[in-house]
Structure 1
């Protein structure tokens, strides 16, 4: 089975620090043939240059300057530079598991009928899932899809029900993206990828859901939310919803869909108000921004999307890491400094490294990817990692490390 060359597009605006961590994870991918395209503002491009100089990767990444608050235009600029047969997308505040791209691209290599693919997204603790499999209808309403096991599943949409993918973990055939005109610039933020899969559904293209194609999403602050994930403005959410409903929903369903989404957002804000970060005046102000945005979206021009051009530059593959097995290190919490020093040396040698650092407690586990490129899992020896486990369980250190290694081995590329 031939490996299709892949392009990974990263859009970054206002998060230069997160971008460099994402890039550190991307260059650890075990996919045999891929390039990286970064579309970023000036601070992001400066951080990219500094990262390239620091890591010895000067000139290896395609860079595009763009500093406007429009995710669709930014992604299209990335696609225009992408020369791979498959184009994957990841957010700048996300980090991919080392096997992410290989798993995500595999369905395209196995079947010509696959035109899109989406993986699973883990949340800020690195363990709980933020997103798995869903379908979406013409009003933007989603329904979970139950999948068994880790095997990729090819799903066929209907003209009214598409297979949803998440913008921080999705891939498309480049030819399909180009033919569809890429992402619609009318969606400056939110629902841009959902609009794309609805257009894909109209032409009948299959989508693969790939559970082992995992990214960890930091969900960092941006123009619409703060560092605590509390919304600060919903103008673009409301505007994008209006555009989406005008594009796809039957006219008689638009008012109900708007009311449903507004109700969902109000409940979301109420949860934040109950926990403290938001007051009633803030809630009303943010809901007003949703209403204002919806009215703005009703007035936006809906244009026909022209096909995207061929890649502007030749394929520029990222040099692969040395073909050595991943390294797993483990120790007690008081050994963390020595463990991290050993891990850093291994990263410099081109190894992919996982560190388990466990304390004699029942603390919940947390997984993070940290510079210079180390997967770090911390928590209590007796605490839980998967959130469906008991709060406390007695176990030995070696057996706990073995169990946790088995849990992450498919995504981390560790041979069982």
Structure 2
């Protein structure tokens, strides 16, 4: 019996600033070292002519493009994805590295034709010491896999664009990432979750989480402060409410509600550990959970009020015409 041919994969790496040049070089090297050889590596530069010229000059063996859409990571990824022609498209951020079996592990679930995408585990690579107050349940705030995710390959609602593979046909059918919705400056919208929901809603296909397909995601020192953590949680709260407004309302937030229901256990567990003399850091982690929930909740309130005011203004303008 002849072996089933392996699907071809292109890898898209968005980038936007020279400050990440050394990280980008490491990411490209890690991608080139994959045992499952990618058909093409595409680096897309987000409206930065100097960085584009440098990448064209100094990055050998890759295709370098400029973002064809408005500034932002969603258009940046779409530019690279729409350029490719392979049946599978992988996305990785420009500040990650991975072992040589990463891509092969992530492609394996696509033997099931119902799988439209897959994502792997993400380990934070702290520039400095890991904050003692950081709850494992909130590692998503620094781009990491958080406590409560499956420990074996499992079906999930969504994965993360720091390291994901999508089936090209389904990706193109929904128009790719939603441009104008994503990470830009202080705005942080869950463009990857929003994409996952639209793709799975298209024809009932599903996503797989592959914890053994691990990437290490750099966490700069400035992102390990408590102030940054609170701001990030606030932005996530706003982003999830904004996402719900684009899709099917609160029905798209079922996973978030399940996640919130699990957090009281994390608070109690850490407080008990602190009370039993296992370390003050457990009390700090309990406080981190409470602070993260409060910040995200406040962000959701602000986004809800902002959206209602915007809708009210539109209705007022429409009534005066």
TM-score of the aligned structures, taking structure 2 as reference length: 0.63
Change (3 A) 1:217 1:250: closer
Three-state SS of the structure 1 residue aligned to 2:81 is helix
1:194 matched residue in structure 2: 193
Q: Distance in 2 between matches of 1:286 and 1:164?
A: 19
Select which of 21, 36, 47 maps to 2:26. 21
Give deviations 1:117-159, integer Å, cap 9, x for gaps: 1111112159x9x89xx9xxxxxxx9934344xxx44x2xxxx
Q: Which has the larger radius of gyration?
A: 1
User: Does residue 175 of structure 2 align to residue 185 of structure 1?
Assistant: no
1:81 matched residue in structure 2: 83
User: Does residue 49 of structure 2 align to residue 48 of structure 1?
Assistant: no
Give deviations 1:197-226, integer Å, cap 9, x for gaps: 2223323112222232111100347xxxx3
Structure 2 gaps of 5+ residues are 131-135, 141-145, 184-188, 268-280, 286-293, 312-321
Change (3 A) 1:29 1:193: same
Change (3 A) 1:238 1:178: same
**Does the CA contact (< 8 Å) of 2:236 and 2:299 recur in 1?**
no
Change (3 A) 1:19 1:241: same
Change (3 A) 1:29 1:242: same
Q: Distance in 2 between matches of 1:106 and 1:62?
A: 28
Q: Distance in 1 between matches of 2:122 and 2:87?
A: 23
**Does the CA contact (< 8 Å) of 1:124 and 1:217 recur in 2?**
yes
Give deviations 1:239-274, integer Å, cap 9, x for gaps: 4223212123348x99x97xx79x99xx9xxx9xx7
Three-state SS of the structure 1 residue aligned to 2:34 is coil
2:73 matched residue in structure 1: 71
Counterparts of 1:191-270 in structure 2 under 5 Å?
191-202=190-201, 203-220=203-220, 226-228=222-224, 230-231=228-229, 233=231, 237-246=236-245, 247-250=247-250
**Does the CA contact (< 8 Å) of 1:236 and 1:293 recur in 2?**
no
242-251 vs 202-211, which deviates more?
242-251
RMSD value over aligned CA atoms?
A: 4.1
Structure 1 gaps of 5+ residues are 135-141, 156-161, 276-283, 302-416
Q: Work out the number of aligned pairs and report it.
A: 251
TM-score of the aligned structures, taking structure 1 as reference length: 0.50
Between Structure 1 and Structure 2, which shows a larger proportion of helix residues? 2
Q: Distance in 2 between matches of 1:173 and 1:201?
A: 11
Counterparts of 1:368-387 in structure 2 under 5 Å?
none
1:120 matched residue in structure 2: 121
37-46 vs 207-216, which deviates more?
37-46
1:169 matched residue in structure 2: 163
1:111 matched residue in structure 2: 112
